[in-house]
Structure 1
Amino acid sequence: MTLYKQISLLVSLLLLLLLGGVLGINFFKLKNSIEDQLYIQAKNSAYSLSIALSTIQNDHQKVREVIDTVFEHGAYELIEYEDQERLPVYRKQKVESRLEVPMWFTHLCNIHTVPVESQVKDNGQTLGAVLVISDKEVAYQQLYDLFKYLLYLFIFFTLLGHLFLHFVLRILLRSLKSIQQQAEEVNHNHFIIQKDLPSTVELRDVMIAMNSMIKRVKDLYERSSEAMKKYQDSLYYDPLTNLFNRRYFQVKLPEYLLANDDRSHGALLLIRMNGVPFGNKKIGHKKMDDLFIQFSSILQKLCNEGREPILCRLNGTEFAIVLPAYHKLAATELAQNIIKAFLVLADKFGLRENLYLSIGICEYARKDQVRDLLSCADTALFEASRHHENYVVAYGRDKEKSVINNANKTELRDIVVKALNEERLQPQFDPVVDLKTHQEIFYTLTFDISYDTHMLKFSDYAQMISDLGMEYDLMKFELEYMKKHHFKQHTIAFPLMVEMLHESEKLFYFEQSVKEIAKNMRGSLFVEISEYDLLALDPIVAERLSKELREHGVRIGITNFSGEKADYSYLKYTAPAYVKIHESLYLNIGSVSQNALHTLLGSLDIQLIVVDVNEENISRLENRSIRYVMFS
Structure 2
Amino acid sequence: MALNRQLWIAIASVMVIAFVSSLAISFQSARAYFEEQLHLKNIDNANTLALTLSQVEKDPVLIELMIAAQFDTGHYQRLELLDPSGEPIASRTRATDAVGDVPGWFAELAELRVDPGIAQVPDGWQQYGTLYVESLSGFALEALWDTTVELFLWFFGIAAVLGLLGSMVLKSLTRPLDDVVDQAESIGNQRFIATPEPRTLEFRRVVRSMNILSARVRDMLGEERSRLEEMRQRLQRDALTGVGNRGRFDDVLGALLADDDPNRQHGLFLVRLVDLAEINRQLGHQKTDALIKELATRLGTVAGEHRDSFSDDHLARLNGSDFALILTDLLDAKPLAERLTEAMQELAARHAEATSLQLALSAGRFGPGDERSSILIRLDDALARAEHRETTCLEWATQGEDVDRLHGSDEWRAILHDAIEQQRIHAAHFATRRIDGRLIHREAMLRLEDARQTLTAGQFLPWARRLGLLPQLDLAVAESELERLARTPDPDGEPIALNLSIDTLLDESTRGRLLGLLASHTARAAMVSIELAERAAIDHPAAFREFCAVAVPLGYRVGIEKAGLAVTEIDVLHELGLSYLKLDRSLTTDLAASESNRSYLRGITGMAHAIGLTVIADGVRSAEELTQLGELGVDGASGPGVPE
TM bracket, shorter-chain basis = 0.5 to 0.7
Residue matched to 1:494 = 498
2:569 is paired with a residue whose SS is coil
Structure 1 position 547, deviation (Å): 1.6
Distance 1:503 1:426 in 2: 22
1:625 corresponds to 2:624: no
Residues 1:162 and 1:385: Cα distance change in structure 2 (over 3 Å): farther
Alpha-carbon displacement from aligned partner over 1:450-494 (angstroms, at most 9, x marks no partner): 324433212332221111121233233223322432357431110
2: CA distance, partners of 1:191 / 1:290: 41
Cα distance, 1:558 vs. partner?
Answer: 0.7
* RMSD over aligned Cα atoms: 3.3
TM-fit CA distance, 1:304 = 2.0
Q: Which amino acid aligns with 2:211?
A: N
1:52 alignment partner in structure 2: none
Contact 1:232 1:593 in 2 (8 A): yes
Matched, 1:435 2:435: yes
CA contact under 8 A between 2:263 and 2:367: conserved in structure 1?
no
| Conserved? CA contact 1:260–1:458, under 8 Å | no
Q: CA deviation at 1:175?
A: 8.2
CA separation in 1, counterparts of 2:255 and 2:211? 42
Shift of 1:195: 6.1
Match of 1:67 in 2: none
Q: CA deviation at 1:528?
A: 1.0
Mapping of residues 223-372 of structure 1, within 5 Å = 223-258=223-258, 264-307=264-307, 308-324=312-328, 325-348=330-353, 350-352=354-356, 355-372=357-374
1:382 aligns with 2:390: no
Residue of structure 2 in register with 1:530 after alignment: 533
Q: CA deviation at 1:535?
A: 2.4
Asked if the contact 1:332/1:394 (under 8 Å) is kept, the reply is: no
Are 2:268 and 2:326, in contact at CA under 8 Å, matched by a contact in 1? yes
- Whether the 8 Å contact between 2:244 and 2:316 is mirrored in structure 1 is yes
Task: Give the letter for the 2:613 counterpart.
Answer: I
Taking structure 2 as the reference length, the TM-score comes to 0.65
Could you tell me which of 487, 507, 510 is aligned with 2:511?
Answer: 507
Tell me the secondary structure at the aligned position of residue 605 of structure 2.
Answer: helix
Which amino acid in the other structure matches residue 515 of structure 2?
A: E
Q: Output the amino acid matched with 1:430.
A: F
> Is 1:596 equivalent to 2:603 in the alignment?
yes
Q: Does 1:578 align with 2:585?
A: no
TM-score, normalization: structure 1?
Answer: 0.67
Say if 1:520 and 1:241 are closer, same or farther in 2 by CA, change over 3 A. closer
Which stretch of the first structure deviates more once superposed, 308-317 or 327-336? 327-336
Aligned to 1:475: 474
C-alpha deviation, 1:606, in angstroms: 1.2
CA shift digits 1:316-358 (9 cap, x unpaired): 111111123252312321332133222223314x212xx3121
State the alpha-carbon separation in 2 of the partners of residues 419 and 347 from structure 1: 53
1:620 counterpart letter in structure 2: Q
Once the two structures are superposed, what CA deviation does each residue of 1:79-130 show, in whole Å capped at 9, x if it has no partner? xxxxxxxxxxxxxxxxxxxxxxxxxxxxxxxxxxxxxxxxxxxxxxxxxxxx
Cα distance in structure 2, aligned partners of 1:496 and 1:363: 26
Q: Deviations over 1:500-554 (max 9, x none)?
A: 3445443321111112233246x52111111112323242x32221121122211
Partner of 2:465: helix, strand, or coil?
helix
Contact 1:261 1:462 in 2 (8 A): no
Distance 1:253 1:161, change over 3 A: farther
- 1:420 counterpart residue number: 420
Q: 1:479/1:566 Cα in 2 relative to 1: closer, same or farther (>3 Å)?
A: closer
Letter in 1 for 2:532: I
| In structure 2, distance between residues paired with 1:495 and 1:192 | 29
Taking the aligned partners of 1:290 and 1:263, their CA distance within structure 2 comes to 40
Give, as a single letter, the amino acid of the residue that structure 1 aligns with 2:333: K
Counterpart contact for 1:557–1:579, Cα < 8 Å: yes
Question: Contact 2:221/2:607 (CA < 8 Å) preserved in 1?
Answer: yes
* Amino acid in the other structure paired with 2:397: Y
> 1:283/1:472 Cα in 2 relative to 1: closer, same or farther (>3 Å)?
closer
Partner in structure 1 of residue 450 of structure 2: 451
Deviations 1:61-83 (A, max 9, x none): xxxxxxxxxxxxxxxxxxxxxxx
The structure-2 alpha-carbon separation of the partners of 1:306 and 1:168, relative to structure 1 and needing over 3 Å to count, comes to same
SS in structure 2 at match of 1:406: coil
Q: Tell me by how many angstroms 1:372 deviates.
A: 3.1
- In structure 2, relative to structure 1, the CA distance for the partners of 1:228 and 1:309 (3 Å cut) is same
Of structures 1 and 2, the larger Rg is shown by: 2
Question: Any residues of structure 2 matched to 1:130-169 within 5 Å, and which?
Answer: 166=170
Match of 1:35 in 2: none
Please give the alpha-carbon distance, in whole angstroms, between the structure 1 residues aligned to 2:600 and 2:496: 30
Rounded Cα–Cα distance in structure 2 between residues aligned with 1:164 and 1:496: 46
Give the % identical residues. Answer: 19
**Matching residue's letter, 1:448:** R
The superposition leaves residues 190-209 of structure 1 with CA deviations (integer Å, 9 ceiling, x where unpaired) of 323446366545x4564454
Pair 591,480 (structure 1): closer, same or farther in 2 beyond 3 Å: closer
Structure 1: runs of 5+ lacking an equivalent = 8-159
* Structure 2: distance between partners of 1:165 and 1:547: 32
- Return the alpha-carbon distance in structure 1 between the equivalents of residues 346 and 263 of structure 2: 26
Does the 8 Å CA contact 1:431/1:442 hold for their aligned counterparts? Answer: yes
In the TM superposition, 1:541-620 aligns within 5 A as 541-565=543-567, 567-586=569-588, 587=591, 588=594, 589-615=596-622, 616-620=624-628
The equivalent of 1:129 in structure 2 is none
1:42-57 correspondence to structure 2 within 5 Å: none
Match of 1:464 in 2: 463
Instruction: Kindly indicate whether residue 375 of structure 2 is the aligned counterpart of residue 395 of structure 1.
Output: no
Partner of 1:518: 522
**Which residue in 1 is equivalent to 2:177?**
176
Structure 1 position 582, deviation (Å)? 2.5
Contact 1:433 1:630 in 2 (8 A): yes
- Any conservation in 1 of the 2:259–2:368 contact (CA below 8 Å)? yes
Pick closer, same or farther for the CA change 1:249–1:164 going to 2, 3 Å: farther
Kindly indicate whether the alpha-carbon contact (under 8 Å) linking 1:256 and 1:263 is maintained by their aligned counterparts in 2. no
Distance verdict in 2 for CA 1:604–1:459, change over 3 Å: farther
Q: How many Å separate the matches in 2 of 1:573 and 1:263?
A: 38
| Consecutive unaligned residues in structure 2, runs of 5 or more | 8-163
Letter paired with 1:526: S
CA distance in 1, matches of 2:483, 2:368: 32
Distance 1:256 1:518, change over 3 A: farther
Aligned to 1:93: none
Paired residues in the alignment total: 464
Q: How far did 1:378 drift?
A: 1.6
* Aligned CA distance change for structure 1 residues 592 and 312 (closer, same or farther; 3 Å): same
